[in-house]
């Protein structure tokens, strides 16, 4: 069974090598593909040096667009897709815990739950919106509605794609898979990534995330995926 990891990354030079190294060490993962979303740092070079296949985009497409580009490049070769953020570092090695229930036939999509990163400074508005929207549109009670760390069986990724644009990708995956009757399983992990602080950059990021999650939920409510 072919298990392929897709890692969207934009300006992740600080952590991408460690993320790739850890993902490649997961026994079940056969290929690690980094989609460099038009970075202006050394993300692509470092990812390639760490052993990843690299797909470099000429324009910044956002997380959902980068993942879709990766899936388009993989084509029909993946039996299981593993989605990982580029800033997980060594904790990407926990991806095996997401793959195991898929290979055992116990779930169609697994979603990592993560401890709250130290130094994070949000008010939970985006997470609350995502949780409410997922429950309203699919009935699934999500503990980690915004977790980007996931594994999907072939039936799940076919049912849940194309990926929603931008930061709406996670709610799109969850709602589409649940509506299609896929079995969703949240898996506790100690994965960690860079925290978004309580500063101008952090609030700008969360504001953009809120808008894109709301847009994705609106499209899903109208029956459109992307």
Q: 150 phi and psi, to 5 degrees?
A: -145, 160
Q: What sign for the dihedral angle of Cα 130, 215, 207, 7?
A: positive
Average pLDDT over residues 9-19: 97
- Smallest CA-to-CA distance from 84 within 74, 100, 68, 98 is with 98
Q: Answer yes or no: are the C-beta atoms of 79 and 1 closer than 8 Å.
A: yes
Could you tell me how far CA 81 lies from the centroid of its own chain? 10
Q: Answer yes or no: are the C-beta atoms of 47 and 32 closer than 8 Å.
A: no
Domain positions in the chain are 3-221
- Smallest CA-to-CA distance from 170 within 222, 120, 129, 117 is with 129
Which pLDDT tens digit goes with each residue over 32-77?
999 999 999 999 999 999 999 999 999 999 999 999 999 999 988 9
Which pLDDT tens digit goes with each residue over 179-226?
999 999 999 999 997 665 554 655 565 778 889 889 889 999 987 544
Question: In the prediction, which pLDDT does 75 show?
Answer: 85
CATH superfamily of the domain spanning 3-221: Spore Coat Polysaccharide Biosynthesis Protein SpsA; Chain A (3.90.550.10)
Q: Using CA atoms, how far apart are residues 21 and 135, in angstroms rounded to an integer?
A: 36
More confident residue, 149 or 194: 149
Q: Answer yes or no: are the C-beta atoms of 161 and 83 closer than 8 Å.
A: no
Question: In the prediction, which pLDDT does 226 show?
Answer: 47
The pTM assigned to this predicted structure is 0.91
Could you tell me how far CA 154 lies from the centroid of its own chain? 16
Question: In the prediction, which pLDDT does 223 show?
Answer: 77
Supply 189's token pair. 């992990």
Task: Write the DSSP string, the chain.
Answer: --EEEEEEESS-TTTHHHHHHHHHTSTT--EEEEEE-S-SSSHHHHHHHTT-EEEE-SS--HHHHHHHHHHHHHTT--SEEEE--TT-GGGGGGHHHHHHHHHTTS-SEEEEE-PPPTT----SHHHHHHHHHHHHHH----SSTT---EEEEHHHHHHH-SPPSGGGHHHHHHHHHHHTTPPEEEEE-----PPP-SSHHHHHHHHHHHHHHHHHHHHHHTT---
Which residue's structure tokens are 């990843």? 52
């Amino acid at each position: 069974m072919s298990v392929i990891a897709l890692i969207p990354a934009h300006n992740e030079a600080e952590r991408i090598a460690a993320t790739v190294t850890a993902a490649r060490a997961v026994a079940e993962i056969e290929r690690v593909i980094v989609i460099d979303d038009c970075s202006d740092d050394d993300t692509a070079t470092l990812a390639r040096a760490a052993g990843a296949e690299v797909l470099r985009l000429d324009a910044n497409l956002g997380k959902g667009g980068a993942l879709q580009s990766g899936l388009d490049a993989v084509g029909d070769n993946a039996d299981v897709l593993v989605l990982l953020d580029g800033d997980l570092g060594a904790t990407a090695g926990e991806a095996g815990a997401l793959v195991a229930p898929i290979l055992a036939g116990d779930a169609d999509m697994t979603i990592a739950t993560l401890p709250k990163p130290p130094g994070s400074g949000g008010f939970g508005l985006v997470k609350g919106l995502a949780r409410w929207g997922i429950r309203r549109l699919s009935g699934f009670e999500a503990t980690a509605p915004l977790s980007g760390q996931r594994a999907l069986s072939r039936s799940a990724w076919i049912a849940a794609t194309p990926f929603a644009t931008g930061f709406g990708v996670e709610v799109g995956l969850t709602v589409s898979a649940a509506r299609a009757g896929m079995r969703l399983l949240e898996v506790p992990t100690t994965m960690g990534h860079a925290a978004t602080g309580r500063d101008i950059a952090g609030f700008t990021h969360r504001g953009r995330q809120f808008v894109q999650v709301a847009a994705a939920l609106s499209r899903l409510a109208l029956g459109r995926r992307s």
